Amino acid sequence: MENGILLPTLQSALPFLDLHGTPRLEFHQSVFDELRDKLMERVATIAEGKEDDRYVKLEELLEKSFPLVKMPSIQPVVMQVLKHLPKVPEKKLKLVMADKELYKVCAVQVKRQIWQDNQALFGDEVSPLLKQYIVEKEAALFSSDLSILHNFFSSSPKARRQGEVVLRLTQMIGKNVKLYDMVLQFLRTLFLRTRNVHYCTLRAELLMSLHDLDISEICSVDPCHKFTWCLDACIREKFVDGKRARELQGFLDGVKKGQEQVLGDLSMILCDPFASNTLVLSIIRNLQELLSQDALPRDSPDLLLLLRMLSLGQGAWDIIDSQVFKEPRLDLEVVTRFLPAMMTVVVDDHTFIVEQKLPSEEKTSLSYPAAVPDVFSRYLQDNRVACEMGLYYVLHIAKLRNKNALQRLLPALVDTYNDMAFGDIFLHLLTGHLTLLSDEFGSEEFCSVVFDGFLLTSFSSKENVHRHILRMLLHLHHKVLPSCLETLMKTLEPPKQCSEPLKELYSQLTEKLEAQKKTPPPSDEAPSLDLGLHPVSVPTSTPTTPV
């Protein structure tokens, strides 16, 4: 009686519970749970209210309830109060931080208040997410899908921002500018330490994810916000049009004296592979237009701006490392010598095609040129911006299924600036583009250029190249000349000291080839166009019985 619920009207009803065999403990527990839920709802209502003393009330409740925080039944109430206090008293935060169990169960709103004064603790929380992000990006580059339509750059910026890591980081940061700055500092440090460009992608994705959620507290103080927003629209379209180009130029020209540090962040955003992919695709498109107008690259302000942005992005690591916040000077010879040399390759190609169409009596004995202009090769080796454009031009001709031009240029990529031609992003794209020329792998000359002339020149020293060759063969092995495939299988056998993914790819390929030997080759007759849709007789009048 003493410890029961002191409601006179309740006493007469309790015998009903006894008749149903319901223990008092169960009844009291259900009442307790109900009251606790009501109290937690009330806490949320007070916090969302407009009263001036609402936080004073919550702090009083916290003082009364905090001593019982270790009791599982009371803990949710304490956590609810902590969650709704914009500034939890320092003493309480320290107690939560010191107790691993409490820290684990407290809401992210409370953790933010702990993290903002504990960079090391925040770093421990963020670090696994950043590792996971890099692992996911690298897995995408080595994905078993090999296609020109579904490649690394296929997904839209908005879809990429739905990734688990970006969403988790966005939630951890909330509206806290201090935490956002910490994450950016982690990303800069990791980019400097590893030179991994995927950290630049995350820098842009994180800002745009906060932009999607309309978190003006952060977007309004990040000086890169409008630039990134405009660039994001270009990445979505995979093209920088004239209007947006001028808008981007306005941001670059508008960097005021004393604020040059923003160039470090802008360069990081332009170093994002998705941004440089968009810039170089736009440059190639621009060059095609110039060709059709018989105009020179140096006369196109749009092209010069795209090159300026590409150059700033390519120089991101040097800018952040040296802390000298200046736009890198674009070597003018890239415009006056390298691009014209690249265009001569296009002209040679056109000349050869026109020559082939002439009637036999007008034909000259012109054969397809094999050598590459010296200037072209030299700039591929010495200049980062020129090399990026050269690599994308090779992808462009592969996309056009231009076998002759591809055979001419691939061997020139063996020696490129910083071995860029053997980077994962380029090899991922090249292997996807080569699927368009799958029938050409039946010729010894083409196999020799692709494998001996380019891919096999560095596979023994670079495991990633080895993996990309195996990825491609898994898709195209049935098209490759059998004698060539046999030699390739011997050459590509993994060394004893190699990673598991490489061994796995090789064993998958071996299994596929074994299976192919067992199945008879398909007959040469043309495949029928039967789509499995068989004619169905349609009754002319409405049937009376169900069909």
- The 10s digit of each residue's pLDDT in 142-170 is 988 888 888 999 999 999 999 999 999 99
Q: Where are the alpha helices (DSSP H) in 119-254?
A: 119-141, 157-160, 164-173, 177-194, 198-212, 216-219, 225-237, 242-253
Instruction: Tell the burial category of 389 from Cβ atoms under 10 Å away from its Cβ (0-12, 13-18, 19+).
Output: buried
Other beta carbons less than 10 A from residue 429's beta carbon: 22
Give the span between the Cα atoms of 115 and 92, in whole angstroms: 14
The alpha carbon of 316 is separated from its chain's Cα centroid by a whole number of angstroms, namely 18
Q: 171 vs 149, which has greater pLDDT?
A: 171
Q: 432 vs 349, which has greater pLDDT?
A: 432
Give the span between the Cα atoms of 55 and 50, in whole angstroms: 10
Other beta carbons less than 10 A from residue 341's beta carbon: 18
Q: 13 vs 267, which has greater pLDDT?
A: 267
Task: Output the pLDDT for position 526.
Answer: 46
Task: Output the pLDDT for position 274.
Answer: 97
528 pLDDT more than 50: no
Instruction: Provide CB contacts within 8 A for 510, sequence distance 6+.
Output: 489
Looking at beta carbons, which pairs linking 233-240 to residues 24 or more positions away fall under 8 Å?
Answer: 234/278, 234/282, 235/157, 235/274, 235/275, 235/277, 235/278, 236/156, 236/157, 236/158, 238/153, 238/277, 238/278, 238/281, 239/278, 239/281, 239/282, 239/285, 240/278, 240/279, 240/282, 240/306
CB crowding 503-525: b at 16 or more within 10 Å, else e: eebbeebeeeeeeeeeeeeeeee
Instruction: Decide if 310 contacts 385 (C-beta within 8 A).
Output: yes
What is the average per-residue pLDDT within 315-320? 94
Task: Output the pLDDT for position 233.
Answer: 95
Give the span between the Cα atoms of 263 and 261, in whole angstroms: 5
What is the average per-residue pLDDT within 19-46? 88
The C-alpha torsion from 235 through 238 and 242 to 246, rounded to 10°, is 20
Give the span between the Cα atoms of 527 and 212, in whole angstroms: 50
450 pLDDT more than 60: yes
What is the average per-residue pLDDT within 485-499? 90
What is the average per-residue pLDDT within 429-455? 93
The alpha carbon of 436 is separated from its chain's Cα centroid by a whole number of angstroms, namely 24
Instruction: Provide CB contacts within 8 A for 290, sequence distance 6+.
Output: 296, 297, 299, 300, 303
Provide the percentage of residues in the chain whose pLDDT is more than 90: 55
**What does the DSSP assignment read for 394-443?**
HHHHHHTT-HHHHHHHGGGGGS-GGGGGGSHHHHHHHHHHHGGGGGGGGS
Q: Tell me the pLDDT of the chain averaged across its residues.
A: 88
Q: 546 vs 269, which has greater pLDDT?
A: 269
Instruction: Provide CB contacts within 8 A for 280, sequence distance 6+.
Output: 310, 388, 389, 392
Which tens digit of pLDDT belongs to each residue from 351-376? 888 887 888 777 666 778 888 889 99
Pair of tokens at residue 450:
């692709």
User: Does the CA dihedral 458-463-465-470 come out positive or negative?
Assistant: positive
Provide the percentage of residues in the chain whose pLDDT is more than 70: 94
428 pLDDT more than 70: yes
Of 328-337, 347-356, 402-411, the range with the lowest mean pLDDT is 347-356
What is the average per-residue pLDDT within 161-188? 95
DSSP state of 67: G
Instruction: Provide CB contacts within 8 A for 204, sequence distance 6+.
Output: 228, 231, 232, 269, 272, 274, 275
What is the average per-residue pLDDT within 59-79? 87
510 pLDDT more than 50: yes
Q: Which helix (H) or strand (E) holds 92?
A: helix 90-98
The alpha carbon of 134 is separated from its chain's Cα centroid by a whole number of angstroms, namely 9
Which tens digit of pLDDT belongs to each residue from 13-22? 788 888 888 8
What is the average per-residue pLDDT within 234-243? 93
Which tens digit of pLDDT belongs to each residue from 297-306? 888 899 999 9
pTM of the model: 0.85
Task: Output the pLDDT for position 533.
Answer: 46
Q: 540 vs 182, which has greater pLDDT?
A: 182
Instruction: Decide if 492 contacts 470 (C-beta within 8 A).
Output: yes
Q: Which helix (H) or strand (E) holds 531?
A: none
Give the span between the Cα atoms of 473 and 456, in whole angstroms: 13
Task: Output the pLDDT for position 538.
Answer: 47
For residue 524, name the pLDDT band (cuts at 50, 70, 90): very low
Task: Output the pLDDT for position 48.
Answer: 86
Task: Output the pLDDT for position 530.
Answer: 44
For residue 516, name the pLDDT band (cuts at 50, 70, 90): confident
Identify the top-confidence range among 80-94, 165-179, 246-260: 165-179
Q: 537 vs 235, which has greater pLDDT?
A: 235
541 pLDDT more than 50: no
Task: Output the pLDDT for position 521.
Answer: 57
Task: Output the pLDDT for position 365.
Answer: 64
Task: Output the pLDDT for position 535.
Answer: 47
The alpha carbon of 207 is separated from its chain's Cα centroid by a whole number of angstroms, namely 14
543 pLDDT more than 80: no
Phi then psi for residue 423, to 5 deg, are -80, 155
Pair of tokens at residue 192:
């400097």
534 pLDDT more than 70: no
For residue 520, name the pLDDT band (cuts at 50, 70, 90): low
Give the span between the Cα atoms of 286 and 274, in whole angstroms: 18
444 pLDDT more than 60: yes
Give the span between the Cα atoms of 422 and 420, in whole angstroms: 5
Of 58-67, 130-139, 417-426, 516-525, the range with the lowest mean pLDDT is 516-525
Instruction: Decide if 205 contacts 235 (C-beta within 8 A).
Output: no
296 pLDDT more than 50: yes
What is the average per-residue pLDDT within 467-483? 92
For residue 172, name the pLDDT band (cuts at 50, 70, 90): very high
Instruction: Provide CB contacts within 8 A for 176, sequence distance 6+.
Output: 112, 116
Q: Residue 222: which of 207, 206, 234 has the closest Cα?
A: 207
Pair of tokens at residue 160:
């990429």
For residue 53, name the pLDDT band (cuts at 50, 70, 90): confident
Give the span between the Cα atoms of 203 and 295, in whole angstroms: 38
Number of H helices, E strands in the chain: 30, 0
